[in-house]
Amino acid sequence: MSTDAQAAIARLRDSGLLKSKGLVGGKWVDSYDGKTVQVQNPATGDVIANVPCMGKRETDDAISSAYNTFYSWSKRTASERSKCLRKWYDLIVSHKEDLALLITLEQGKPLKEALGEVSYGAAFIEFFAEEAKRIYGDIIPPTSSDRRLFVLKQPVGVVGAITPWNFPLAMITRKVGPALACGCTVIVKPSEYTPLTALAAADLALQAGIPPGALNVVMGNAPDIGDSLLQSTQVRKITFTGSTAVGKKLMAGSANTVKKVSLELGGNAPCIVFDDADLDVAVKGSLAAKFRNSGQTCVCANRILVQEGIYDEFANALTKAVQNLQVGNGLVEGVVQGPLINEAAVEKVEKFVNDATSKGANVILGGKRHSLGMTFYEPTILGNVNSEMLVSREEVFGPVAPLLPFKTEEEAIKIANDTNAGLAAYIFTKSIPRSWRVSEALEYGLVGVNEGLISTEVAPFGGAKQSGLGREGSKYGIDEYLELKYVCMGNLEA
Ligand code: ADP
């Protein structure tokens, strides 16, 4: 570890939270062949830790442990599970500075944003601690007088949760919170780029009294770990956030053992600014929807559609706002744009920007790598983008705001829906009738009206079309981890 990395790690208030082993059956373990993977700080290239490069054997053991623990955990009362989750929530909150530091170190987002992720991520644990006590079944009026019909809701069983690097904590708590709340046990496979936050959170879960084996963490060889989870008949559910390509593989791989599947996949969010929008609200909302996490979220505005009458004014105002975004190491006060996760991410952004400019788009701001080097990219605005350009067809996952001019509401809806993705969409307008019309016409799972940041633990998050299956958060989010059982009690008058 370099001295810079050591100095950063020394800022942890509780150094015990820096774990560099996997968690299987409540024990911190190395990979069985001793191989490791490096975890790097994307802002500096420093190696922060080496974590075990695990594969099939370690995952098989984690599955056995989760399977054995399922019987005891699912039999605890809802109130007991709720208390453990609440304690976990309290521990996450009391360690929020440390968790945020780990997020910034391994993922790159600014510390303030990382703190926001910790609060957001913790909120799922709190919400599902409460929801654990509200998993009600039904009594159905019987079809004959000597019968009684019941619907029970029971935990689905062992869950494999595969998560990405862009929200190292929140993508885990959204899955593990509802799973543990209803009595499932879990094997988490965090991204190899960001395992340290996951391991720290798992350590806090153990401290909270969540029993050994209820929450396991393995990382390393993603396809091997994935195959082990998919092939096991003991794993009854796969929950995944990540790329559409990997999501499709996991869905296909789940077919053989007919697992329940929920997927949060890529988006291609349109952000539609109408002539009748409040300019300040539209700029603030678009800025937040586009540049949060340096554009690396699946709900980030990918295409900013701007009506002709407001195009120039909006482009100028957005440019002024984006010019002020300070780029740098997320640990530095005032920085609001961190690095991209890796070199491949920067190359993708470069490719999309070159494609757009070669087809007639103009660079209004930025448009190249940042002078800071590493994987920093300048916050960028492209003008006169059209639907044929790569930047409109696919997720750029970087700090690039493409502006697409349009004339009518019908045209905007058509452009917005002309994609296989359907996760988030945003509209900016002062008209209430238009807000309703356009919200209903958009083929998306989430719509923000005059708001650029809309995710919350109390509302259902998930996509339409190829953006995924199922919902996370809210009262709906727990259904993904429950199986319905119909019980018919007969011959009651015998
Ligand atoms: P991203 O591009 O956001 O990293 P990925 O879909 O590649 O999205 O990764 C999301 C998660 O899926 C990560 O934890 C990654 O390691 C994991 N992953 C990638 N390939 C596979 C696979 N074949 N089987 C299981 N998990 C995988």
**What would the DSSP string read from start to end of 143-174?**
SSTT-EEEEEEEE--EEEEE--SSSTTHHHHH
DSSP string, 334-397: T--B---SSHHHHHHHHHHHHHHHHTT-EEEE--SB-TT-TT-B--EEEES--TTSHHHHS---
Q: Which fold has domain 269-449?
A: Aldehyde Dehydrogenase; Chain A, domain 2 (3.40.309)
Positions annotated as catalytic residues are 264
Mean pLDDT of 63-74: 98
Which protein residue has the closest C-alpha to ligand 1 atom 3? 242
Span 358-364, average pLDDT: 98
Per-chain mean pLDDT for the chain: 97
CB of 246 shorter than 6 A to ligand 1: yes
CB count in 10 Å sphere of residue 211: 15
What percentage of the chain carries pLDDT values higher than 90?
Answer: 98
pLDDT of residue 1: 67
CA of 248 to the centre of ligand 1 (A): 11
Residue among 187, 191, 218, 349 to mutate when testing ligand 1 (max atoms within 8 A of CB): 191
* Ligand 1 centroid to residue 216 C-alpha, Å: 18
Cα(191) to centroid(ligand 1), Å = 7
Total number of residues shown for the chain: 494
Distance from residue 195's CA to the centre of ligand 1 (Å): 13
Tokens of residue 89, six digits: 């929530």
How many angstroms does the Cα of residue 241 sit away from the middle of ligand 1?
A: 8
The answer, yes or no, to whether any atom of ligand 1 lies below 6 A from the CB of 222, is: yes
Per-residue model confidence as pLDDT tens digits over 409-447: 999 999 999 999 999 999 999 999 999 999 999 999 999
Q: Does the beta carbon of 59 sit less than 6 angstroms from any atom of ligand 1? A: no
Q: Is 162 in the pocket of ligand 1 (CB under 6 A)?
A: yes
pLDDT surpasses 70 at 270: yes
Q: Residue 451: phi, psi to the nearest 5?
A: -145, 135
199, 218, 246: residue to mutate for ligand 1 pocket, most atoms within 8 A of CB: 246
Is the pLDDT assigned to residue 125 strictly greater than 80?
yes
Whether 121 shows a pLDDT value over 80: the answer reads yes
Mean pLDDT confidence for 340-349: 98
Which numbered atom of ligand 1 lies nearest the CA of 229? Answer: 25
* Residue owning the nearest CA to atom 17 of ligand 1: 222
Q: Is the CB of 189 under 6 A from ligand 1?
A: yes
Atom 25 (ligand 1): residue with closest C-alpha? 226
Task: Output the six-digit token pair for 278.
Answer: 């409040």
Give me ligand 1 centre to Cα 244, in Å. 10
**Interval 318-336: pLDDT, tens:** 999 999 999 999 999 999 9
Architecture of domain 3-265+468-484: 3-Layer(aba) Sandwich (3.40)
Query: Is the pLDDT confidence value at 3 over 80?
Result: no
Annotated domain spans of the chain = 3-265+468-484, 269-449
CB atoms within 10 A of CB 29: 17
- Residue whose CA is at the smallest distance from ligand 1 atom 23: 223
Only one residue has tokens 């099939």, namely: 56
Q: Mean pLDDT throughout 132-158?
A: 97
Cβ of 243 less than 6 Å from ligand 1: yes
Q: Which atom of ligand 1 is nearest to the CA of 166?
A: 3
DSSP 38-75: EEE-TTT--EEEEEE-B-HHHHHHHHHHHHHHHHHHTT
Cα–Cα distance, 207 to 84 (Å, whole number)? 9
Q: pTM of whole model > 0.95?
A: yes
